[in-house]
Amino acid sequence: MEKTIILKIGGSVLTRKNIQKPSVRKKLLREIIQNLKKLLASEKNLRLILIHGAGSGGHTIAHTYNLSHGVCDDPIKRIGALKVRYANQILNEKIFSICIDYDIPVVPLHSGSLIGMKKGNIVYFSHTILDLCFKNKSIPLLYGEMVFDEETGMAVCSGDLIAFYLAKKYNASRVLFASDVEGIYSEDPFKNKNASLIKNSSLKDLVKNKKITLSGSHNVDVTGGIYNKIQSLKNNLSPSLQDVIIFNGLRPENFLSLTKKNPPGTKIFFS
Ligand code: ADP
Ligand code: IPE
């Protein structure tokens, strides 16, 4: 039977998020795509959904135009939102072009044209296009984007939210986040070098344990780092989901292990 997994490659992996000018890690990206190709060749029954983040380009513009609470009929913010979209499309195009170089049938599906939100929740999604994409034996590639919102005009839709929304819709058994940390630590390892890596945790323990601090990104970021990933997970739990993995995407070899029982990183489970 076909197994569905969702991989979100964070902007912290794709770009140097601490440099405000868009700076794509092209060599790493090539290595990641080559390893994904190897994985797909060895896993014939895998249905993969790919999502990417915005990284330095989109986040810096969204921050500059103060877009965290949407456009709200502000003409300056409206143009800012479109500048974010442009930056995201440029990043998307770079990933697409590498996938084509390696003959992988990855199809960019522009999130801004498929998704509608209301007060920060996804309330509309053009599933037919995704279904046709699977039928055409292709791998959809979506991304965190400024999307239309019924209340705020246009709002930030993170790749994290898209990942959990689609996990529910397509009965994914696993969602993986490639990020710039080895996994979830007792607190942000960029802020405390002595923070300890959590290898396994139930979702309940992760949010209840007072010794664990989940916070925003140490980089310029309008969507809230690890904290937002766990909030999005809590709000969009899916019965099909067996675990969620957060792993270091700066190590390309980790992309060969996406389907292993115990891949590198932190495993969050639900029992
Ligand atoms: P991505 O761009 O890969 O989606 P984010 O920047 O949104 O990733 O989130 C990753 C960041 O979350 C890390 O770089 C780190 O600064 C921050 N973070 C906050 N709390 C933690 C924690 N407890 N463990 C690991 N990282 C954390
Ligand atoms: C951000 O998406 C989308 C924007 C419009 C800024 P993400 O939150 O998924 O991006 P990364 O992974 O943190 O860069």
pLDDT, tens digit, 9 for 90 and up, residues 235-260: 999 999 999 999 999 999 999 999 99
Tell me, using a 6 A CB cutoff, whether residue 160 lines ligand 2: yes
pLDDT of 271 above 80: no
* Residue 217 CB less than 6 A away from ligand 1: yes
More confident residue, 89 or 17: 89
Percent of the chain with pLDDT over 90: 93
Of 156, 153, 176, give the one whose Cα is nearest residue 166.
176
Q: Which CATH number fits domain 3-269: 3.30.413.10, 3.40.1160.10, 3.30.70.20, 1.10.1040.10?
A: 3.40.1160.10
pLDDT tens string 125-182: 999 999 999 999 999 999 999 999 999 999 999 999 999 999 999 999 999 999 999 9
Edge-to-edge, what's the strand order for the sheet holding 115-118? Answer: 121-125, 115-118, 145-149, 153-157
pTM above 0.95, yes or no: yes
pLDDT score, position 2: 86
Q: Taking 80 as the threshold, does the pLDDT of residue 13 lie above it?
A: yes
Please say if the pLDDT value at position 1 is more than 90: no
Ligand 1 centroid to Cα of residue 52, in Å, is 15
Average pLDDT over residues 1-5: 89
Residue nearest atom 5 in ligand 1 by C-alpha distance = 225
- CA of residue 83 to ligand 2 center, whole Å: 14
Q: How large is the average pLDDT for residues 116-126?
A: 96
pLDDT value of position 251:
98
CA distance 7 to 52: 8
- Mean pLDDT for the stretch of residues 96-125: 97
CB atoms under 10 Å from CB of 259, counted, come to 17
pLDDT level of residue 17 (50, 70, 90 thresholds): confident
Q: Please state, in angstroms and rounded to a whole number, the distance separating the CA atoms of residues 1 and 191.
A: 44
Residue 201, CB-side half-sphere exposure with 13 Å CA sphere: 20
Q: Quick one: pLDDT at residue 115? A: 98
**DSSP assignment of 198-241:** --EEEHHHHHH-TT------SSS-SS-HHHHHHHHHHHT--TT-
The overall average pLDDT reported for the chain is 96
Q: Domain boundaries in the chain?
A: 3-269
| Position 224 pLDDT exceeds 90 | no
From the CA of 160, give the closest atom in ligand 2: 9
pLDDT at 73 over 90: yes
Confidence of residue 21 (pLDDT cuts 50, 70, 90): confident
- The pLDDT, as a whole number, for residue 270 is 94
- Residue-wise pLDDT for 87-100, tens only, equals 999 999 999 999 99
Q: Which ligand is nearest to the CA of 55?
A: 2
